[in-house]
């Protein structure tokens, strides 16, 4: 058998080099898929109790003294008001930038504000016969979703303190106790975050659809078909339709308490500060 010519040997070697190059590039692409390029825009020094963001990239912060701040997507202060005189703010919902909702769990009350943080009205949950509300969320029609621990139901309450929708007791869908402290309405579905049992998904009529198997989280960010949340020191992205999960490295996880993500912005909350990144 004749030995291959030098030209054939050269072409064979180049072919092997090309294949190796393609493999290395693919491996590099896969490795980089778990990372994002984050650039720090600004840091805000605040004694943070809770934060939320809206779909315009505005940031809303409640301090431990119940001072409410609104910042633009680059960290510019836009408005501030002190709502300490009303009581202790437990939660806020900024999913509608034109109407902000504050939940006062101890008072069993929801206060709604305009986009300049001026008072517009309130809902007294006692008048709706709800006495153990654990979480609230704006509904698609600008009323309020409430999770009632008294009878373990998701309920929609209008601004005249009337219950319009009820889910029925969720014990038929879970095992053991419920731990619901966060909800979100994306105008099509209601995500009820139960840290013990997963994320219970309902339609806009409070009818149960399914349970998303994401446990151990206290809140989420819903963008289109994705759920974003902080898990195992990473940013997790879960496609609730597929389902498929991806994890991404964060620029800073030291003492991180919560994150939020909007268009081209990442927000990281710590006890005494919030950092805004572009990506």
Per-10-residue mean pLDDT, the chain, length 279: 50 47 37 65 96 97 96 97 89 96 96 96 96 97 97 97 97 92 97 97 97 95 95 94 93 95 95 95
pLDDT score, position 6: 52
CATH number of the domain that 90 lies in? 2.120.10.30
Residues in the chain: 279
* Co-location of 269 and 230 in the same domain: yes
* Co-location of 101 and 19 in the same domain: no
| 19 vs 142: CA distance, rounded Å | 57
* Co-location of 23 and 103 in the same domain: no
* Co-location of 189 and 272 in the same domain: yes
pLDDT score, position 83: 83
* Co-location of 26 and 44 in the same domain: no
The predicted model scores a pTM of 0.85
* Co-location of 61 and 3 in the same domain: no
* Co-location of 22 and 71 in the same domain: no
* Co-location of 81 and 115 in the same domain: yes
Q: What is the domain range of residue 17?
A: 1-33
* Co-location of 119 and 220 in the same domain: yes
* Co-location of 73 and 13 in the same domain: no
pLDDT score, position 4: 53
pLDDT tens digits, residue range 167-206?
Answer: 999 999 998 899 999 999 999 999 999 999 999 999 999 9
pLDDT score, position 178: 93
Contacts of 147 (CB under 8 A, 6+ apart): 133, 134, 135, 136, 153, 154, 155, 180, 183, 192
pLDDT score, position 176: 86
Task: Determine contact, residues 245/205, Cβ cutoff 8 Å.
Answer: no
pLDDT score, position 263: 85
* Co-location of 56 and 22 in the same domain: no
pLDDT score, position 5: 57
* Co-location of 66 and 15 in the same domain: no
Question: Could you give the 3-state DSSP secondary structure of residue 160?
Answer: coil
Domain count, the chain: 2
């Amino acid at each position: 058998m004749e030995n291959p010519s030098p030209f054939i040997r050269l072409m064979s070697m180049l072919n092997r080099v090309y294949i190796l190059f393609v493999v290395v590039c693919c491996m590099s692409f896969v490795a980089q898929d778990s990372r994002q390029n984050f650039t720090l825009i600004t840091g805000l020094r605040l004694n943070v109790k809770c934060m939320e963001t809206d779909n315009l990239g505005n940031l809303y912060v409640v301090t431990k003294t119940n001072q409410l701040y609104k910042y633009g997507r680059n960290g510019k202060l836009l408005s501030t008001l002190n709502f300490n005189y009303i009581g202790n703010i437990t939660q806020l919902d900024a999913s509608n930038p034109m109407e902000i909702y504050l939940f006062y769990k101890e008072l069993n009350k929801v206060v709604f504000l305009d986009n300049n943080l001026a008072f517009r009205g309130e809902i007294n949950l006692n008048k709706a016969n709800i006495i153990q509300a654990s979480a609230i969320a704006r509904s698609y029609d600008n009323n309020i979703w409430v999770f009632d621990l008294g009878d373990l139901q998701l309920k929609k309450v209008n601004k005249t303190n009337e219950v319009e929708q009820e889910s029925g007791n969720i014990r038929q869908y879970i095992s053991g106790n419920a731990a619901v402290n966060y909800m979100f309405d994306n105008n099509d579905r209601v995500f009820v975050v139960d840290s013990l049992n997963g994320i219970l998904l309902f339609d806009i009529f409070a009818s149960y659809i399914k349970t998303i198997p994401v446990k151990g989280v206290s809140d989420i960010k819903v963008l289109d078909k994705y759920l974003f949340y902080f898990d195992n020191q990473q940013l997790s992205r879960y496609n609730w339709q597929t389902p498929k999960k991806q994890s991404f490295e964060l620029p800073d996880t030291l003492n991180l308490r919560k994150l939020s993500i909007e268009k081209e912005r990442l927000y990281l909350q710590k006890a005494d500060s919030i950092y805004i990144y572009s990506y």
